[in-house]
Amino acid sequence: MDKIEKLLRKISKKQRAILENIILSLISGKNTIKISKIKDTKFYKVRNKNFRIIFHYENKEVIIDDIRLRNEKTYKNLK
C-alpha cells in the first residue's frame, strides 16, 4: 500500500470525497481550482484546507506525486 492510499484510508469520507473531486478535476482538465507552481521545481500544488496535492505534468498528462498534510516539511525533498 502506498502513502496516498494509506492517507485516504485514514481521513474521513467527507475529506476523501473532496480530495477525489479535486483529483478528478485535475485529470479531466476542468481546472476550476487554484493551481500554484512550487518554486524551483517542476511540481505544482493544489491546496485544500490542511491537504496539499502535489503533481506534475508529463506529456500534457497530470501525474499525482503525493497528497500530504500541511506541515513544515511538506515541500522538502521535492526534485
Neighbours of 9 (CB within 10 A): 9
Residue 76 included in any domain: no
Neighbours of 45 (CB within 10 A): 20
Residue 29 included in any domain: yes
Range of the domain at 56: 3-69
pTM over 0.85: no
Residue 74 included in any domain: no
Neighbours of 55 (CB within 10 A): 19
Residue 75 included in any domain: no
Q: Which of 34, 29, 61 minimizes the C-alpha distance to 45?
A: 34
Task: Work out how many domains the chain is built from and give that number.
Answer: 1
Residue 77 included in any domain: no
26-77 confidence digits (pLDDT tens): 888 776 788 999 888 899 999 888 888 999 999 988 898 888 877 777 777 7
Residue 79 included in any domain: no
Residue 49 included in any domain: yes
Sheet containing strand 35-37, edge to edge, reads 35-37, 44-48, 51-58, 61-69
CATH number at residue 22: 3.30.2310.20
